Structure 1
Amino acid sequence: MERLEVESTSLIKQPKAVWAVFFASIIAFMGLGLVDPILPAIAGSLNASPSEVTLLFTSYNAVMAIAMLITGVISSRIGIKWTLLTGIVVIAVFSALGGMASDVWTIIGLRGGWGLGNALFVATALSAIVTLSGSGTAKAVILYEAAVGLGISVGPLVGGWLGAISWRGPFLGVASLMVIAFIGLSLLMPKSSEKASSRAARTSIWAPFRAMRYRSLVVLGLTACFYNIGFFTLMAYAPFVMGLDEHGLGYVFLAWGVLLAITSVGTAPKMQEKFGTVKSMGAMLFLFALMLLAMGIWTDTQWVIIATVIVAGALLGNNNTLITTAVMNASPVERSTASAAYSFLRFLGGALAPFMAGKLAEWFNPHVPFLVGAGFVLLAVLFIAINHKHVKHVDEVGTGH
């Protein structure tokens, strides 16, 4: 009991700057889930096909993947605080413009700008929490993933409510929430972290590419790339086959996000301690592949799709924490650089998956996107197993924290 109390205290007792980033991260990640319940509504209102609407995720993730490569260059020059604030402003501007747009292709372009803002915020938020936290890498990652989970879980509920009024509501809602995040971060994050960042060596634009010389980082990045194809197939295409309105989709993805949040904080660390990071990751990915396979077989059965989406949240929550912790311990490069290189590879999968899912459904039938997604997640399992010797050291490094 005594040991548990000490551990929980060390996670909760964080500098004010960490909590400022934590709460801003919740609001930033609400943006991802806010849009999910309104995808069918956008398609209906703007006379767009599902594959066109899924480009909202593709443009967002594609720009985010490329922008991840320059986040370290920017943050090492203007400081952690100003990089986070810049990201928030960019998200607010492009989401507000998206809410005022009148055709799907304009929104697709604006979502790319939103992705740029998110890249600046997300990559910096992770390295900021890890750097500023006094409780070690593993606990800092748990804190970050908790913020991600909370944001993703609350987002669809708010998106469903606002989306029931108008599909424009969630876009304008994100812009409003970003204003709150900007004020909170401006007031709560001290200037000392900014100064510490300015004294650090300036990151080269080539740093993420040089980091990819480490096999461990590339293995984890490509594993996440394949896994993200399954993840974003679920996120971007499942709403089209559920047959639910905005409120219904909001509640389903709320349940999904709640499980994601609980497992990322509650069960992932226990699994990591008992079975090891890589084995636990492989098990979660395999079970997620089975969920997608079930969605592909029983696509026409509404309750199966709803149940598998919700249950998948638990698997994704565990895996997100496991793989993020592994990346932070995988190579000797700076954490912000490792995060940028990894995120670039990861979001390439996120860029490919949504549009591919929409097109596969148009070319073949609604079953195929989920079956292909399951295939890519299984490929991630095989890839991590084949390259186990290059990543097994992450647990040895992790024990030092």
Structure 2
Amino acid sequence: MEPTAGRNSSAAEARDYGAWKARNAPDDVRRRSHRTALEDVRRARPAVEARFERDWGMLLPEEIFTFRAFLRALTPEEQRAMRDLDLHPFGLMDLFDDPHREARPGLDVRVHGRYYRDPPEFVTFMHGGTDGLHFGLWFDDGRTCTGVAGYYNNDGGGVGIPGGTPLREVRRVLERRWRDLGDEDADATGPLNPDRAPRAFRLRLLRETLVSFEPDDVTAEGEAYHRADWERLPRELRAHGDPRRIATLDGAGALVTGRTALDRAPQLLWDDHDFCTGLWRVLTGDRSATDAAVAEAKRRCAAGDPAEALVLGRDLHWASGSDPDRERQAGELLTMAYRTLGRPALAAIADAHHRHRDLPSVAVLAG
């Protein structure tokens, strides 16, 4: 059940929402905010792009500037809606506030917003509020953005195959919350929570602004949105995974060609329980077997095939679990693989992360 159903008729709710919006976020005010936000981002863009390319060695996608403009255009009610969703810009988005801000002494700026298990390809742009949930741009080639991924650093589940945009991730979170509001209506036995209507209005307003910045051909809401979002993925990808990506323990897959020691399947859109459980057991079990696998991956990489070094390095990085040997082996394999693949920015990030994986906070910018 959606929030517009149940004990409040959709017509009555639409009328109430229109009156609420006219009081709290008039259309003319929102249109001016939209234009002003786009202009603010246009002026700030060159300095942010230059800083990110200089220190991270990569190019920011157009979609991150759209995301910044969206954030700048939000009314106070929409800002409250973002807080209701527990979504907060973080990581590389801090560069927009001051593109010249440096890291604290002794720290590498490239680990700002970098959580313990983040693969080097992942660059955080938004925090999700609970269990280390965060979202990042994904750079397969260490230069250009492939898409967006998100995961819980402190909980189970993997990163998933990257795709979509920052605003698509906001929309997905929003529609999950919209579904939850409908569940509140369905489960209620007494009077409705008086805060329910304002929460629904704020989410509806936020959705309108989001779509104004990034139109979406899926117009469904709540659970129906998520069904349609899944169904618009290619059928083969949904059924068999991404054939371009070799399966990795983190669930994102490695974009690389070559031979691997294990018979790895293409990366699936969901966790392969048997593969993950078996590989985790191997990597965290017999130390001598892991040492031998690392030596073999290095040998193959030195001979010109970095595929095993990349996938095993990513697996060890994900399964490090604060074990110094696994952390060291992951860092060595990843830097070696990225350099062989011609991805120097990722090699530098992997090295920086290895040196700073024990930081008590992922916020490293000064001030």
The question of a shared fold, defined as TM-score above 0.5 by the shorter chain, is answered with: no
Normalised to the residue count of structure 2, the TM-score between the two structures is: 0.27
Give the greater-gyration-radius structure (CA).
2
Q: Relative contact order: is structure 1 or structure 2 higher (C-alpha 8 Å, sep ≥ 6)?
A: 1
More strand by share: 2
**Higher share in helix:** 1
The alignment's TM-score, normalised by the length of structure 1, stands at: 0.26
